[in-house]
């Protein structure tokens, strides 16, 4: 009963960082409740080869549902397998990452299990046996502390907020073949298109290089791409609403209340003045850097470090310094 | 083809949020309320779909208190044909809201039900897919554009690192994100016409919330930052601080 289940996610066959974070979180919550963390991984035949890694992040057992039809996300099949697994077990909480997949899957699971759902949690603690969830509302202009009066407590967890803690522990992996019948599916993916320029999504990136109207022209984004590349593989590009509305950047890059709310380790706002909707979407970032020529821009009120100056001079220098630093590592 | 668009009344995204004396809800005084931005995108796509087909209807559905009438009139002014307001207390329990909407939609033969991908107040991002499960409809989330053909709808959706083309059988629930088309502004003619369009108000089926709000709080204050310097000469010091003090790189 006091056990906590994690629905882990793979992408391109690898367990995602967000899944590791949720597993470590679940291990802590389960310990407070007097139980242990378990993980459920869904994937293609052979997916179990990746599963053992979750043991090191705190899963005592890892069940792997292997089926060719689960190789990529199909909402109805995934929801059905998760719901059967939850029903067969006895969990006080079920946690999953609030990624695109998790945001699509969690409400379906909630409706099928008839339990409420709290999404995109940034805090989770056990208070006298009750799980208390903290989550942003109004895109981060306020935070709500919630109790879910149902079992299991179903919560999706915002990526990048909790740390994945690696230990020497090993989880026991078991594999099963679920009943999956594609003929019953109401939706099917016809085509997957890769975005150009990196596959790290802005919502999951550990470093975000974000540009606003101060960039003056979409062709100047090569400066930001250079900085992103210098930062390494966990970095992604972001954008303010103004430049998305102007058609300079895709909506998938937009940070803010009508875009994505993000919490990276490092957020670099370049030529972004800092409208209230934008600040709401990025203010929980661990470290914020602002580069802007206007010293009175509101972005400087939330930035840990600011440089006042011409971004067309500052950004190339920053790229150069970061590249030199990384080369020395 | 009949389409239903679900609208939520939310504070304008420009609004500064203040917490009221109870500590569990926001102070509504001085707050301007609007159609939740993503719901407006959903309505825009529904209207375009109807216009392209040259036939059909777009019906609006909302759940909340009677002030929702104003929100629905705005949607009617944009071009929707009729509206239903289910009155009751909306809570942060999205499943309770989904049950209210599902009770109304179960009897509907609309092939398409559209939601915004998330509401700009609770940001729970859950009611659309829950309604799909409860009413046994297909569901595609995060759709930026779609095309309806015989018995199916083909959707473009945003996913991490790219996009997908997904086909769903009708009837379906789609949750809509920002795409190519900005929501239209209501014309004066539209506003006048909206006054005469049918807006039915009826009490919602009573469904209790199982999410209890212990409290709301302001976002944690950020410690005061500092201006490292001016121009490119400040960069080496910034990089040093990021590495040694913030340990961010």
Summary mean pLDDT of chain A: 94
pLDDT at A197 over 80: no
Q: Tell which wins on pLDDT, A50 or A266.
A: A266
From the list A195, A231, A306, which residue is nearest B228 (CB)?
A306
Q: Which two tokens stand for residue B227?
A: 């201006």
* B188-239 pLDDT per residue, tens: 999 999 999 999 999 998 889 999 999 999 988 888 889 999 999 999 999 9
> Within its chain, how far is the Cα of B37 from the centroid?
6
From the list A106, A186, A189, which residue is nearest B126 (CB)?
A106
Contacts 24+ apart (CB under 8 A), A179-183: A180/A67, A180/A69, A180/A70, A180/A77, A180/A80, A180/A81, A182/A69, A182/A74, A182/A77
* A8-39 pLDDT per residue, tens: 998 877 899 999 999 999 999 999 999 999 99
Q: For every residue of A2-28, which 3-state class applies, written as one string?
A: CEEEEEECEECCEECHHHHHHHHHHHH
* The CATH number of domain B2-203, selected from 3.40.50.150, 3.40.50.620, 3.90.230.10, 3.40.190.290: 3.40.50.620
* B39-69 pLDDT per residue, tens: 999 999 999 999 999 999 999 999 999 999 9
> Over the Cα atoms of chain B, what is R_g?
21
Q: Dihedral through CA B73, CA B77, CA B79, CA B80, nearest 10?
A: 10
Residue of B nearest to A150 (CA): B210
d(CA B76, CA A323): 55
pLDDT at A199 over 80: no
Within a 13 Å sphere around the CA of A320, how many CA atoms are in the beta-carbon half?
Answer: 9
Q: Tell which wins on pLDDT, B81 or B220.
A: B81
Chain A hits for B132, Cβ within 8 Å: 108
Q: Checking DSSP bridges between strand B211-217 and strand A142-148, what pairing results, if any?
A: antiparallel
Q: CA of B53, closest CA in chain A: separation in Å?
A: 23
Q: Checking DSSP bridges between strand B33-35 and strand A153-157, what pairing results, if any?
A: unpaired
Q: Is A124 left (phi over 0), alpha (psi -120 to 50) or beta?
A: beta
Q: Looking at domain A3-184, does it have CATH number 3.40.50.620?
A: yes
Q: CA of B198, closest CA in chain A: separation in Å?
A: 30
Residue A131 has a pLDDT of 95
Average pLDDT for A235-247: 94
Where do the domains of chain A lie? 3-184, 207-328
Greatest extent of chain B over all pairs of C-alpha atoms, in Å = 67
Model pTM score: 0.92
Q: CA of A242, closest CA in chain B: separation in Å?
A: 13
Average pLDDT for A124-150: 94
Read out DSSP for A245-290? HTTSS-GGGBBSTTSB----SEEEEES----HHHHHHHTT-SEEEE
> Domain A207-328 falls in which CATH fold?
Rossmann fold (3.40.50)
Where do the domains of chain B lie? 2-203
From the list B167, B231, B242, which residue is nearest A310 (CB)?
B231
């Amino acid at each position: 009963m006091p056990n906590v289940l994690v629905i882990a996610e793979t992408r391109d066959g690898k367990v995602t960082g967000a899944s590791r974070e949720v597993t470590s979180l679940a291990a802590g919550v389960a310990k407070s409740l007097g139980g242990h963390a378990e993980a459920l991984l869904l994937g293609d035949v052979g997916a179990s080869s990746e599963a053992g890694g979750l043991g090191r992040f705190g899963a005592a057992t890892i069940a792997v549902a292997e089926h060719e039809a689960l190789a990529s996300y199909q909402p109805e099949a995934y929801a059905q397998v998760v719901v059967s697994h939850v029903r067969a077990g006895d969990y006080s909480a079920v946690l999953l990452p609030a990624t695109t997949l998790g945001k699509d899957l969690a409400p379906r699971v909630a409706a099928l299990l008839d339990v409420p759902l709290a999404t995109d949690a940034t805090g989770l603690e056990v208070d006298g046996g009750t799980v208390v969830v903290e989550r942003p509302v109004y895109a981060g202009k306020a935070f709500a502390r919630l109790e879910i009066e149902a079992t299991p407590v179903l919560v999706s967890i915002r990526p990048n907020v909790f740390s994945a803690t690696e230990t020497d522990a090993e989880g026991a992996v078991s594999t099963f073949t679920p009943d999956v019948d594609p003929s019953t599916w109401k939706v099917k993916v016809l085509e997957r298109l890769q975005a150009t320029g990196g596959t790290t999504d802005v919502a999951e990136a550990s470093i975000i290089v974000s540009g606003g109207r101060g960039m003056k022209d979409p062709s100047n984004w090569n400066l930001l791409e250079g900085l992103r590349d210098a930062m390494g593989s966990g970095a992604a590009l972001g954008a303010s609403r103004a430049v998305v509305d102007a058609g300079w950047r895709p909506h998938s890059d937009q940070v803010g209340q009508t875009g994505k709310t993000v919490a990276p380790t490092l957020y670099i706002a370049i030529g972004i003045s800092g409208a209230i909707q934008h600040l709401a979407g990025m203010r929980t970032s661990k470290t914020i850097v602002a580069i802007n020529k206007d010293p009175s821009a509101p972005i400087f009120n939330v930035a840990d470090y600011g440089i006042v100056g011409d971004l067309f001079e500052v950004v190339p220098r920053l790229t150069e310094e970061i590249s030199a630093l990384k080369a020395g590592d | 083809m009949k389409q239903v668009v679900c609208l939520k009344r939310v504070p304008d995204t420009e609004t500064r949020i203040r917490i009221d004396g109870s500590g569990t809800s926001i102070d509504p005084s001085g707050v301007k309320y609007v159609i939740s931005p993503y719901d407006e995108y959903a309505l825009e796509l529904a209207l375009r779909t109807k216009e392209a087909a040259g036939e059909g209807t777009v019906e609006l559905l909302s759940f909340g208190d009677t002030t929702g009438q104003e929100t629905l009139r705005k949607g009617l002014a944009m071009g929707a044909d009729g509206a239903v307001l289910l009155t009751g207390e909306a809570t942060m329990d999205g499943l309770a809201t989904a049950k209210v909407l599902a009770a109304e939609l179960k009897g509907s033969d609309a092939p398409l039900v559209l939601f915004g991908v998330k509401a700009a107040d609770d940001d729970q991002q859950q009611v659309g897919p829950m309604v799909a499960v409860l009413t046994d409809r297909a569901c595609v989330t995060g759709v930026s554009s779609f095309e309806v053909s015989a018995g199916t709808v083909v959707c473009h959706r945003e996913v991490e690192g790219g996009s997908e083309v997904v086909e769903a059988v009708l009837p379906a629930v789609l949750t809509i994100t920002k795409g190519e088309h900005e929501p239209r502004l209501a014309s004066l003619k539209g506003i006048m016409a909206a006054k005469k369009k049918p807006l039915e108000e009826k009490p919602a089926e009573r469904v209790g919330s199982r999410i209890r709000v212990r409290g709301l709080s302001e976002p944690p204050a950020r410690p005061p930052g500092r201006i490292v310097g001016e121009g490119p000469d400040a960069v080496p010091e910034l990089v040093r601080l990021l590495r040694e003090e913030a340990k961010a790189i």
